[in-house]
């Protein structure tokens, strides 16, 4: 069953058509991947889903509910959380606070209650700190909870983005190049983490990734974009042998020489 | 080596710290009490608050000691000589600016929105009380109801804060569509617009009395006790300031404070975490403005006269300098910055000027009046800003994240690594 559906989705930047009539349905509770060469429109695709860009045409639906022209913070409330290709942490805040920002929509304290320091507010804050710490344990960052987010090493920053997105308690988690800049060991840990999240948290995970090994290991469904258009979709095996995909990545000659086969 | 061991001993021993601090307070307050007018002694006495900040005591003891210093020691020490009112005027003015700077710190420091017209909200508060606590309001409200009695002052503190908050929202709605430098320019413009409106709202209906200003503003009245002197206003200021500091500290480490900082750090990520951008920024504007508005009411009552020239761009930049100098986003830093700048303005520069004047009157040196220190305020602020931008961009006391203890987040004992949905969703 599809949880997230896009239909003839379109986005133009001046003369450049970044996403051009893409149709796809992401199955619920499974891991899907969006791949394609640089500049294929993958991140734009994510930005359309999360409301950062308004599409020029087409539909986006989460559980049958349209997300077009819905503000990004409302989309988070509806159940989509994401990480960013160029890390966007709250750098000068502590690691724990970063995760607590992710919990924003699940906390209820208002301004008057905060100033008066009602017991309820204090209790909620205390619970939020505990929960944030558990999330850090889940991604393996608990040792760093008091550190400034910007002081973390690169791989840890990516993990923190994942923890922060989990704090939103989403139905759908979008990961934009989660393994970029990671060494093989970190990538292996990340692969395990993504699989664990899907299984244990019953998440629908959609990831953009250039590391083909990771994609082929994890993704049950793959959507291939090139120049903003869908050029292929299917399971890993089918995508690996799809001549159009090989052509998009390696050029026309590669298909004839059968490089990837 | 010797110095290091002394320092270690000092850091380790709280009784030693307490003894030294007490001795310092006794000496400086004694000096303030006995000498007729000594700016230096008064500054050192205020400096004891800074020393207190750096001691190793628990927060409760620090706040209690600060309360004793501010409510008992300083007023008493200042009452010794003929400069009593002059000292307390400076102290009250300090408190007013500290509250305003803390308000601006919410906007600039926490939410990262550069507001160059912040004094407008101070003006809104001042005029809210000024118009109704003089006969001015009779011009547009029929019946001779005004001036309202001084007893209304206490309600007007809240009302002034509320009005300033409303103005903050009204101003924020159009202004917050732009970011960064553009926001600075637009807020600068709006700040000036408010002042010019107050300057011109004498026609067709005389609401603000224009450039003539409002005079004979009713003094506050508490069960028949009238507040007219600076040393009386000082206690009102300290009272409001206590509420402001308390509120700021609570807000900083709350859901709202975190969303302000998140918006400052990265708008797109903040939105994607479910934080409504406009509403979060507007709350920062409104709460910051309301602190300023409350102090505007006090200012109007203290001066008993206000006119638009009290609310110029220079005032806005002065408050901004306080925040930048102290440390953007740092509550203790901003308190220090605001106090230093106020004292520099009101005491140090004026004292230097009168000292130089005395010298040139006696014919020792010939300094043209155009070069007198009190006229160089802007030059000095400019230099301070440049030097701080280069050498200390985080301000005097940099903003730090509150560290939480491991026990408070992990519970007692070592937590087993959790697995499964239950650990994350509760």
B202/B265 same-domain check: yes
Helix (DSSP H) and strand (DSSP E) numbers for chain A: 11, 10
Closest approach of chain A CAs to the CA of B247, in angstroms?
Answer: 5
Give the C-alpha separation, A150 to A89, whole Å.
8
DSSP structural state of residue B394: T
Task: Give the Å distances, CA to CA, from B337 to A20, A116, A150, B343, B350.
Answer: 55, 27, 27, 10, 19
Average pLDDT over residues A14-35: 94
B71/B147 same-domain check: no
Probe site for chain A from B109, B409, B416 (most A CB atoms < 10 A): B409
Residue A94, classed as helix, strand or coil, is: strand
Looking at the structure of chain B, the number of domains it has is 2
Specify the pLDDT at position B373.
76
HSE-up (13 A, CA, CB side) for residue B388: 21
Compute how many other C-beta atoms are within 10 angstroms of the C-beta atom of residue B251: 21
Tell whether B374 is covered by a domain.
no
DSSP structural state of residue A20: E
Most distant CA pair in chain A, distance: 72
Whether B281 contacts chain A with CB within 8 A: no
User: Domain boundaries in chain A?
Assistant: 1-79+170-261, 89-168
Could you say which of A101, A134, A166 has the minimum Cβ distance to residue B258?
Answer: A101
Last residue within a domain, chosen from B33, B53, B82: B82
CB contact under 8 A, B420 and A102: no
B176/B236 same-domain check: yes
CB contact under 8 A, B272 and A82: yes
Count chain A–chain B contacts defined by CB atoms under 8 A: 145
Residue A5, classed as helix, strand or coil, is: strand
Q: Flag whether pLDDT at B414 surpasses 70.
A: no
CB contact under 8 A, B421 and A200: yes
The percent of residues in chain A predicted with pLDDT above 90, rounded, is 79
B103/B61 same-domain check: no
Confidence grade of residue B413 (pLDDT, cut at 50, 70, 90)? very low
Average pLDDT over residues B105-118: 94
A232 - beta bridge partners?
A: A224
Confidence grade of residue B10 (pLDDT, cut at 50, 70, 90)? low
- pLDDT per residue as tens digits for the range B307-344: 999 999 989 999 999 999 999 999 999 999 999 999 88
Could you say which of B273, B276, B420 has the minimum Cβ distance to residue A164?
Answer: B273
HEC letters along B175-238: HCCCCHHHHHHHHHHHHHHHHHHHHHCCCCCCCCCHHHCECCCCCCEECCEECCCHHHHHHHHH
Q: Flag whether pLDDT at B197 surpasses 80.
A: yes
Closest approach of chain A CAs to the CA of B340, in angstroms?
Answer: 26
B414 is written with which tokens? 């070592």
B64/B103 same-domain check: no
pLDDT higher at A123 or A117: A123
Q: Give me the helices (H) in B58-179, please.
A: 59-68, 74-78, 84-104, 119-132, 153-175
The percent of residues in chain B predicted with pLDDT above 90, rounded, is 49
The percent of residues in chain A predicted with pLDDT above 70, rounded, is 96
B336 is written with which tokens? 């220090």
B21/B96 same-domain check: no
Give the C-alpha separation, A226 to A232, whole Å.
9
Tell whether B347 is covered by a domain.
no
CB contact under 8 A, B404 and A145: yes
CB contact under 8 A, A134 and B411: no
Give the C-alpha separation, A52 to A45, whole Å.
10
A82 - beta bridge partners?
A: A174
For A205, phi then psi, to 5°, come to -115, 130
- Range 83-102 of B in CB contact (< 8 A) with A: none
Whole-complex ipTM:
0.92
- pLDDT per residue as tens digits for the range A191-217: 999 999 999 999 999 999 999 999 999
Give the C-alpha separation, B289 to B283, whole Å.
10
Q: Flag whether pLDDT at B416 surpasses 70.
A: no
DSSP labels, B133-146: TSGGGGGTSSSS--
CB contact under 8 A, A126 and B408: yes
Tell whether B420 is covered by a domain.
no
Give contacts of B255 with chain A, Cβ < 8 Å.
Answer: 104, 107, 109, 114, 125
Closest approach of chain B CAs to the CA of A170, in angstroms?
Answer: 10
For B222, phi then psi, to 5°, come to -120, 105
pLDDT higher at B58 or B423: B58
A180 is written with which tokens? 């970029």
B119/B263 same-domain check: yes
Helix, strand, coil shares of chain B, percent, nearest 5, are 75, 0, 25
Report the candidate in B262, B271, B265 with the shortest Cα–Cα distance to residue A81: B271
Tell whether B167 is covered by a domain.
yes
Give contacts of B59 with chain A, Cβ < 8 Å.
Answer: none
B66/B180 same-domain check: no
Compute how many other C-beta atoms are within 10 angstroms of the C-beta atom of residue A219: 23
Residue B144 domain boundaries? 85-315
Average pLDDT over residues B55-72: 88
B90/B17 same-domain check: no
Tell whether B418 is covered by a domain.
no
Whether B366 contacts chain A with CB within 8 A: no
- Contact assessment for residue B88 and residue B234, using Cβ atoms and an 8 Å cutoff: yes
B97/B240 same-domain check: yes
Give contacts of A97 with chain B, Cβ < 8 Å.
Answer: 258, 261, 401
Specify the pLDDT at position B415.
44
Closest approach of chain B CAs to the CA of A102, in angstroms?
Answer: 5
Of these ranges, A2-16, B137-151, B379-393, the one predicted with the greatest mean pLDDT is: A2-16
| Lowest-confidence segment of B95-99, B167-171, B235-239, B373-377 by average pLDDT | B373-377
CB contact under 8 A, B419 and A200: yes
B96/B238 same-domain check: yes
DSSP structural state of residue B417: P
B76/B99 same-domain check: no
Give contacts of A126 with chain B, Cβ < 8 Å.
Answer: 408
Tell whether B275 is covered by a domain.
yes
Specify the pLDDT at position B42.
85
Residue A76, classed as helix, strand or coil, is: helix
Task: Give the Å distances, CA to CA, from B388 to A171, A244, B320.
Answer: 47, 58, 13
- pLDDT per residue as tens digits for the range B16-55: 888 888 888 888 888 888 887 777 888 888 888 988 888 8
Tell whether B340 is covered by a domain.
no
Domain boundaries A1-79+170-261, CATH class: alpha beta
Report the candidate in B225, B71, B201, B80 with the shortest Cα–Cα distance to residue B137: B201
Last residue within a domain, chosen from B38, B65, B82: B82
Specify the pLDDT at position B342.
92
Tell whether B48 is covered by a domain.
yes
Last residue within a domain, chosen from B82, B114, B130: B82
């Amino acid at each position: 069953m599809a949880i997230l559906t896009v239909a003839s989705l379109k986005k133009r930047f001046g003369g450049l058509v970044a996403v051009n009539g893409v149709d796809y349905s992401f199955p619920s509770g499974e891991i899907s991947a969006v791949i394609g060469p640089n500049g294929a429109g993958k991140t734009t695709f994510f930005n359309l889903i999360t409301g950062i860009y308004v599409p020029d045409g087409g539909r986006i639906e989460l559980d049958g509910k349209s997300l077009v022209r819905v503000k990004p913070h409302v989309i988070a409330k509806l159940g989509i959380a994401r990480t960013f290709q160029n890390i966007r942490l709250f750098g000068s805040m502590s690691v724990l606070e970063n995760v607590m920002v992710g919990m924003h929509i699940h906390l209820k304290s208002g301004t008057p209650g905060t100033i008066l320091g009602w017991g309820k507010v204090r209790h909620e804050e205390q619970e939020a700190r505990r929960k944030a710490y558990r999330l850090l344990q889940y991604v393996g960052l608990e040792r760093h909870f008091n550190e400034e987010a910007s002081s973390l090493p690169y791989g840890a920053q990516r993990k923190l983005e994942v923890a922060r997105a989990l704090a939103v308690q989403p139905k759908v988690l979008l990961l934009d190049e989660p393994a970029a800049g990671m060494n093989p060991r970190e990538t292996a840990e990340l692969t395990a983490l993504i699989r664990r999240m899907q299984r244990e948290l019953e998440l629908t995970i959609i990831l953009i990734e250039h590391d083909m090994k990771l994609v082929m290991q994890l993704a049950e469904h793959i959507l291939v974009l090139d120049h903003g258009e869908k050029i292929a979709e299917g399971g890993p095996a089918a995508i690996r042998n799809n001549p159009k995909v090989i052509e998009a990545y390696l050029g026309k000659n590669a298909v004839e020489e059968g490089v990837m086969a | 080596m010797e110095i290091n061991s002394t320092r270690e001993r000092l850091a380790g021993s709280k009784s030693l710290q307490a003894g030294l601090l007490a001795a310092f307070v006794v000496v400086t307050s004694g000096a303030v009490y006995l000498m007729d007018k000594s700016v230096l002694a008064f500054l050192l006495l205020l400096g004891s608050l800074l020393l207190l900040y750096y001691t190793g005591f628990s927060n409760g003891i620090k706040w209690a000691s600060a309360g004793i210093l501010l409510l008992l020691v300083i007023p008493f020490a200042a009452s010794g000589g003929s400069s009593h009112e002059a000292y307390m005027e400076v102290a009250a003015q300090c408190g007013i600016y500290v509250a305003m700077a803390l308000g601006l710190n919410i906007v600039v420091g926490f939410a990262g929105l550069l507001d160059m017209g912040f004094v407008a909200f101070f003006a809104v508060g001042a005029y809210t009380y000024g118009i109704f606590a003089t006969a001015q309001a009779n011009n547009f409200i029929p019946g001779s109801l005004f001036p309202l009695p001084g007893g209304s002052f206490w309600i007007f503190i809240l009302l002034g804060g509320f009005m300033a908050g409303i103005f903050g929202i009204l101003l924020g709605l159009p202004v917050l569509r732009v970011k960064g430098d553009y926001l600075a320019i637009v807020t600068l413009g709006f700040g000036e617009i408010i002042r010019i409106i107050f300057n011109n709202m004498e026609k067709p209906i005389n609401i603000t009395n224009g450039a003539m200003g409002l005079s004979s503003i009713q003094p506050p009245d508490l069960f028949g006790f009238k507040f007219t002197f600076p040393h009386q206003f000082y206690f009102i200021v300290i009272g409001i300031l206590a509420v402001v500091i308390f509120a700021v500290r609570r807000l900083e480490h709350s859901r709202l404070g975190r969303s302000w900082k998140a918006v400052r750090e990265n708008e797109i990520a903040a939105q994607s975490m479910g934080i409504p951008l406009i509403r979060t920024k507007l709350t920062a504007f409104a709460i910051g403005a309301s602190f300023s508005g409350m102090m505007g009411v006090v200012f109007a009552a203290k001066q008993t006269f206000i006119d638009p020239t009290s609310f110029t761009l220079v005032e806005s930049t002065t408050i901004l300098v306080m925040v930048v100098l102290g440390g953007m986003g740092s509550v203790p830093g901003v308190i220090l910055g605001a106090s230093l700048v106020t004292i520099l303005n009101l005491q140090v520069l004026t004292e230097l000027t009168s000292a130089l004047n005395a010298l040139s009157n006696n014919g020792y040196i010939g300094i043209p009046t155009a070069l007198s220190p009190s006229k160089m305020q802007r030059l000095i602020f400019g230099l301070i800003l440049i030097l701080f931008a280069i050498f200390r961009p985080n301000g005097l006391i940099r903003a730090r994240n509150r560290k939480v203890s491991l026990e408070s987040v992990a519970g007692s004992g070592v937590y087993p690594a959790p697995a499964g949905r239950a650990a994350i969703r509760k």
